[in-house]
Structure 1
């Protein structure tokens, strides 16, 4: 295996779906960037893998277009040669912050209008071809034997074989340790540890983003630290999705820090451009938050070493690296935020097993700044898209898709093994998402509609509690199950209503249209329960001070509450 070559820049390893045939295809990095407009989307082994690869692709693009414009011309404020990143430096004498930002926006706009990436991306990958070798002396996203041995304790060196992570554990569709078999894994027996080079490359990138905490080996540091989970594992991922892979990459290609007007210009530093692996680990020991997206997008959570044995199967050794903190890490553009009252710092909103059934639209205020009090809590990607619209770089009425892909852990502090994957989306026109009306802003009215919908959801929950009482069931468990099914009914219709809004709509008329539809959904849900009712439901029970309670009186109570809370005016 050592003599074999596998280069990620030139050899196929990324799965995509083509626009023309809608069929899956495997491509290299160079092929992907050359033909991004011909591909509909990434099509890897799971959505979380696609998200990890998206960030890798964006790191490449951010690096390239922060150095050259759409015509492949190096920016005048950079000293050195873009072909030799170690020579690059910011020339403060020629750099004007405002003009520099406008130049970067111009680069973005020219690329978007052209509909394809310039030859600078291919040139970059060709120049850095050696950095994308997956095997050999300097393997991509891995450490060679000498580097690994120099950074881990003596009793954990490669020759000891300690600290192994099996392929079946790195494969996030299985995530099976040697001690706890996964009964419903997509592979069985020895096949769980059989993997092709292209598949392993995808899982290595994914694992660096979505690492659990089961491994015990760590790099040597002066102060003790706990192995951290992968950076992306601790956020609530959100990104923009376009009609093609080119559009998706462009919409998420942030070339200007728009969170703060006085933000400093930062040189991009992807992990493969560090002088050496040992230098990189030394930097990480300081746990300093990256000041540039390329470094953040390519941050390792583990020092990996892959040893190829005679049987052709990889032996993977893993050692933890100190991770920078989530608090105040607002440079991360692909997450929602919450204010930690104890520290007064923003933290990413994590996804847990308890929130699996909560759709994106129910947390609309986390994705869009409704009341304009402070836009720092908005996802950076939303601030970026708003800026593009204000600068007329994307159409005012362009449909925008916000997607979320979350790999949710089991909640066990000692393992953090993946338990579920959640995929969701929101579609809105740009002039709805970024409505500038002072009094009737769509975000405010949408949030009000969601609050009304949540109130109706509570009304339905109380109906479910009453039904549980009648049937002598555990009311909390029964009502929670019915409530979850009710919200499943709401998800499709609400998202369709949301995507159909426009900036020219009569707000009240559209809100009333949703309320009327919501009332019909409640009626349908109750009618389904009525059809499945039993004689016991009809007979009912005595509900103390409330008197007789049966399925008919429970329905009457619900419909009274619904009509009161919807406050629909009769035509």
Structure 2
């Protein structure tokens, strides 16, 4: 009797949002054949959407590296072919059924969620791994076996038994973002680290619908070279070894489907009631640029040649504050922009995207506790800009935006210093407390200018606007943000802060602190240094 259950090609399991805002579960076939009719993926969390999205991307890469938009066999062999293929798909507005079914039916047996041989993104050898409840599988809970979260999004049977559909989604999440708490069964094996997506700073391009989003992230070139091979792991024999160091995947489809964990779902009838886990595949990520959806930073700790590593996301920073690392090529070679942004820039320069095309870039990541031993939080942000800003000839505009962000950072530092000085004037003491006051001042300034910065970046248009005028416009918003803070701090002042006090031979008071802040802001806005030189 067959133990096969729930084939992901046909069964509804991917949550999508339609154009009316309704959320439904759809099969892989339904999602891809009607991607133009859906706004986006709509899983329980954005971090759950990412690995599901990458499965779809792996399928599309495997197909359209070989077939044109109409489903005719026509492999991409030259870099010029890649841009043309992408442009044809963009104009086609939907994916043809013929190439999808011809490809996916070849590997139908690799898409069963439950199977005695090849369960989807699982390993039958994982049955000897660490035993977990479904509360650990559910990413929005991520409970260990020994510690229950105090505040929970679900209770009782809702976290003890999962439908096939939800279990499939969280299965991909665990493979992508799992922590390092599981112990090795075989002694002496190295740690594979957190799941791959937990080791990078994921950033994705989002279009007006799911079809556009899938295409914007469908990168056919690696640094202007055609990928040597596009091969998802379901085209390959499965690996079973625990904590296996592998040769780094040489194409996105393999990377997106690499098993960083050996997982096996546990069943009670047609419900998932837990899973077992072993460490899976891992590889050296030094100077590894196959990952298209992360920025890279120069490893300043390395004493050898220049080494680049994926740049993780700082959850305390708004995405626009990272504009330089994401959108501006480094003249000092201290970073590399994400491959997907480089790809979109090439498409824009090739005329594949219109000058008024807006794209939202979304970040989504998991924040871990000590040594990635447990998951602390799920975070994300977004930034919408015109793709015209990414064109080669508009580099001066990107540098202008970078200067605006840098100016904002300097003003935020001054706000932090002002808050620190006011705290001293109030009689606050203690290095940790004062450090917190400084940080709160910086955060307060960023909060004041956050929405104006997003609006400003969204409406920037190198084709119709004057660069100097736009820089002055955002400076006005910075000044408003500083003035708002001053009014707030003055309004909340105390008699003690007004009078001030001596601290280590220097007098601090609210009026003095505000005057220093105003002077520094004035100097920064007119282009001077804060010391007046």
User: TM-score, length-normalised on structure 2?
Assistant: 0.91
Q: What SS class does the counterpart of residue 154 from structure 2 fall into?
A: coil
1:365 aligns with 324
Asked if 1:198 corresponds to 2:165, the answer is yes
Asked if 1:243 corresponds to 2:242, the answer is no
- For 1:210 and 1:437, the matched residues in 2 are separated by 36
Query: How many residues get paired?
Result: 518
Asked if 1:349 corresponds to 2:311, the answer is yes
Q: What SS class does the counterpart of residue 502 from structure 1 fall into?
A: coil
Cα offsets for 1:472-517 (capped at 9, x unmatched): 2232112212322221222211111111111132111111111111
1:210 aligns with 177
- Residue 238 of structure 1 deviates from its aligned partner by 0.8
Q: Is the 8 A contact 1:368 1:378 kept in 2?
A: yes
CA spacing shift, 1:135–1:58, aligned 2, 3 Å: same
- Residue 445 of structure 1 deviates from its aligned partner by 1.1
1:67-216 → structure 2 map (5 Å cutoff): 67-75=66-74, 97=77, 100-119=78-97, 120-137=99-116, 138-144=118-124, 148=125, 158=127, 163-189=130-156, 191-216=158-183
Asked if 1:383 corresponds to 2:350, the answer is no
- Residue 25 of structure 1 deviates from its aligned partner by 1.1
Q: What SS class does the counterpart of residue 105 from structure 2 fall into?
A: helix
1:457-536 → structure 2 map (5 Å cutoff): 457-473=412-428, 474-503=433-462, 504-536=464-496
1:13 aligns with 13
Cα offsets for 1:332-390 (capped at 9, x unmatched): 11111111131421100123xxx321112112111012455659711101110011111
1:286-365 → structure 2 map (5 Å cutoff): 286-309=245-268, 312-341=271-300, 342=302, 343=304, 344-351=306-313, 355-365=314-324
Taking only aligned residues, the RMSD between alpha carbons, in angstroms, comes to 2.4
The range that moved more, 39-48 or 117-126, is 117-126
5+ residue gaps in structure 2?
Answer: 529-533
Cα offsets for 1:137-189 (capped at 9, x unmatched): 22111123xxx1xxx7xxxxx4xx65112211121111111111110121234
Q: What SS class does the counterpart of residue 427 from structure 1 fall into?
A: strand
- Residue 529 of structure 1 deviates from its aligned partner by 1.8
2:228 aligns with 266
Q: 1:561 aligns with which of 503, 520, 532?
A: 520
CA spacing shift, 1:296–1:420, aligned 2, 3 Å: same
5+ residue gaps in structure 1?
Answer: 78-96, 153-157
- For 2:392 and 2:468, the matched residues in 1 are separated by 15
User: TM-score, length-normalised on structure 1?
Assistant: 0.85
The range that moved more, 310-319 or 203-212, is 310-319
- For 1:54 and 1:311, the matched residues in 2 are separated by 25
- For 2:422 and 2:189, the matched residues in 1 are separated by 55
2:199 aligns with 234
- Residue 563 of structure 1 deviates from its aligned partner by 0.7
- Residue 397 of structure 1 deviates from its aligned partner by 2.9
Q: Is the 8 A contact 2:203 2:363 kept in 1?
A: yes
Q: Is the 8 A contact 1:165 1:215 kept in 2?
A: no
1:46 aligns with 45
- Residue 267 of structure 1 deviates from its aligned partner by 1.9
- Residue 417 of structure 1 deviates from its aligned partner by 1.6
Q: What SS class does the counterpart of residue 406 from structure 1 fall into?
A: strand
Q: Is the 8 A contact 2:242 2:279 kept in 1?
A: no
- For 1:305 and 1:376, the matched residues in 2 are separated by 38
- Residue 311 of structure 1 deviates from its aligned partner by 9.4
Q: What SS class does the counterpart of residue 275 from structure 2 fall into?
A: strand
- For 1:282 and 1:162, the matched residues in 2 are separated by 12
Q: What SS class does the counterpart of residue 74 from structure 2 fall into?
A: coil
- For 2:30 and 2:272, the matched residues in 1 are separated by 28
Q: Is the 8 A contact 2:427 2:501 kept in 1?
A: no
Higher share in strand: 2
1:155 aligns with none
